[in-house]
Amino acid sequence: MKAESGANALAAILGGSRRALARAMSAVENETAAGKALLRELQPHLGRARVLGITGPPGAGKSTLVNALIGAWLARGARIGVVAVDPSSPFSGGAILGDRIRMGEHQAHERVFIRSLASRGHGGGLSRTTARVIDLLDAAGCDRIIVETVGAGQSEVEVAEIADTRVVLCPPGLGDEVQALKAGILEIADILVVNKADLPLAERTERELLGMLSLRHYDDWTPRVVRTVATSGAGVAELIELIERHAAACASQRRSHGGRVRRLIAASAADWVKRRVESLASAEFEQLCALVQRGELDYASADLRAVELALRAEKKT
């Protein structure tokens, strides 16, 4: 980023330059001033790509399925970006790159750009800069952007903030684990995929998922269940068809680029408020906590007062 001006970097990215894109991602991930300035300049050029979030328990076959999806979309002429959020190296803090190794088949293709990001201990399995990297891929002309998250369990609900369509993988034999996951990771799904469907218990897992879905009411889209065998490509075409159907069903709903921006601002604001309130050390805040402990003030009222105190403290800094 230092070697080229912001205007030149923007033009190169809009032109699809892989080198400029890689440099910009490094600047954004490192939260440099140049990276932040570039993100502001990108905004008018965003909103064309569809973002697919893929998550699920460790060992469900997420990376293998992503590899199969890349191949299928390439055959249809699409330009694809992939953001693989890898566990952080305990030594360097960087991504271990396991996902990129498994997707190596398509890494060098001119219409594919794969970026591994380190989760850096971020509990939800999503790197803090994932949404910014998605914007860069969008601006570079990607039609489809796949975000694969660290298989960290229920906290994967963060994928709902950035993805237009959310796919949750469920390996055969979840059994009682379906109930354990129900309140978290399964709740975000637009499409549930029983991957490794050539293994025993795949049919049973499908039935359990369908049974779970039948207990709920959905307004705009009822989650679908599909079986795949990512290693052979079985069921991948059916999955892509469901992804496209969901995109069409939600075209005018909140999961547009504008809707994603709203969700990201809301999540960022909530995170900001949480950090500021936790850091409050004033006598007024201690008194507020005491009022709640004595039952003299309800939590809803205390929440509003705490936000006011946090905003007041911010203005003083």
Whether the Cβ atoms of residue 136 and residue 42 lie closer than 8 Å to each other: yes
Which pLDDT score is estimated for 182?
A: 54
Q: How far, rounded to the nearest angstrom, does the alpha carbon of residue 99 sit from its chain's CA centroid?
A: 15
Angle between helical axes of 130-139 and 18-29 (0-180°, round to 10): 160
Which pLDDT score is estimated for 267?
A: 73
Question: How many whole angstroms separate alpha carbon 193 and alpha carbon 179?
Answer: 16
As a dihedral over the C-alpha atoms of residue 91, residue 94, residue 98, residue 99, rounded to 10 degrees, the angle is 160
Question: How many whole angstroms separate alpha carbon 124 and alpha carbon 143?
Answer: 26
Q: Which CATH class is domain 46-253?
A: alpha beta
Tens-digit pLDDT profile for residues 131-163: 889 999 999 999 999 999 865 554 456 677 789
Question: How many whole angstroms separate alpha carbon 52 and alpha carbon 82?
Answer: 9
Tens-digit pLDDT profile for residues 253-271: 545 566 777 777 877 788 7
Domain boundary assignment for the chain: 1-44, 46-253, 263-316
Stretches where the chain sits below pLDDT 50 are: 3, 88-96, 122-125, 154-155, 254
Question: How many whole angstroms separate alpha carbon 78 and alpha carbon 72?
Answer: 9
CB atoms within 10 A of CB 252: 9
Q: How far, rounded to the nearest angstrom, does the alpha carbon of residue 108 sit from its chain's CA centroid?
A: 24
Which of 286, 280, 290 lies closest to 310, judged by CA?
Answer: 280
Whether the Cβ atoms of residue 198 and residue 231 lie closer than 8 Å to each other: no
Which pLDDT score is estimated for 212?
A: 84
Angle at alpha carbon of residue 239, lines to 52 and 116, rounded to 5°: 35
Which pLDDT score is estimated for 112?
A: 96
CB atoms within 10 A of CB 59: 11
Average pLDDT, the chain: 83
Encoded tokens for 313: 């403290």
Residue 44 sits at φ, ψ, to 5 deg, of -65, -10
Question: How many whole angstroms separate alpha carbon 101 and alpha carbon 88?
Answer: 15
Encoded tokens for 129: 């800069």
Which pLDDT score is estimated for 12?
A: 95
CB atoms within 10 A of CB 111: 17
